Amino acid sequence: MKLMDAAELVKQPPDVTENPYRKSGQEVSIGKQIPAPVEESACQFFFDLNEKQGRKRSSTGRDSKSSPHPKQPRKPPQPPGPCWFCLASPEVEKHLVVNIGTHCYLALAKGGLSDDHVLILPIGHYQSVVELSAEVVEEVEKYKATLRRFFKSRGKRCVVFERNYKSHHLQLQVIPVPVSCCATDDIKDAFITQAQEQQIELLEIPEHSDIKQIAQPGAAYFYVELDTGEKLFHRIKKNFPLQFGREVLASEAILNIPDKSDWRQCQISKEDEETLARRFRKDFEPFDFTLDD
């Protein structure tokens, strides 16, 4: 059921009949008259994910007529302490930031697998994709689609992965892989093979599925998304190799740079980082959707 769409979960069989007690009047209970319960649309139990059924709700989850004053946008949660990735934090290495949207920003990865290895990060403090609000999710997806087009124009396909384990701020790793290196199926096979070798249960999930349908807030997990939309997911129960995603992509089967599997071995000077950031900003500018706002 976790892998089914909400619309499929609430779908009624073709031979269903109407509730014979619906709007049947009133019942007497302990000397008082109470109205008979009115059957609500099934989609109400799934927070109106199917817009064609039930009452239309506002983004706050309340009926649009319930309050004359619209609720102010919810502020992103704040970190309990210093955070290296909250954009407003003094700990952020701002020279690595290459693009800023409304809810998210792009930054070059510290010790990246390549010069154009970037991160998609929420501006506010969120620990994982599962905890993101709807408007942040929308911009994350926009960044992913834009980066795919950008890298495709440069003869590369990109791999996106998230490790929600021993991390405090969401980091979506976006790693470009030259088309000449290997096919998407080779990347998928490399992840599955290495997972089996390390006794990691890496499951394929439906392409259009939402991670929120599979993992609960606070649950540890790893997932990887290929350029075809295929997704592989692992629910972390105990220990998990922190560099697993990098190790697979750096392996001989894909980028063939096994010595770069640990980011700490790939650090360069701040001056070189600034040069790479300037270059990425210039190259990415024709694809920058934030300039249209």
Query: Per-residue b/e over 5-36, b at no fewer than 16 CB within 10 Å?
Result: bbeeebeeeeeeeeeeeeeeeeeeeeeeeeee
What was the pLDDT predicted at 90? 87
11 falls within a domain: no
Residue 191 CA: distances (Å) to CA of 14, 138, 153, 197: 42, 27, 25, 10
pTM to 2 decimal places: 0.72
Cα 107 to the center of its chain, rounded Å: 16
CATH of the domain at 196: 3.30.428
186 falls within a domain: yes
42 falls within a domain: no
What domain count does the chain have?
Answer: 1
Res. 79 pLDDT band, cuts 50 70 90: low
241 falls within a domain: yes
Res. 37 pLDDT band, cuts 50 70 90: very low
Average pLDDT over residues 115-131: 95
Res. 81 pLDDT band, cuts 50 70 90: low
166 falls within a domain: yes
What was the pLDDT predicted at 161? 97
210 falls within a domain: yes
pLDDT digits (tens, 9 = 90+) for 184-226: 999 999 999 999 999 999 999 987 788 888 898 889 999 999 9
32 falls within a domain: no
282 falls within a domain: yes
Domain limits at 180?
Answer: 96-287
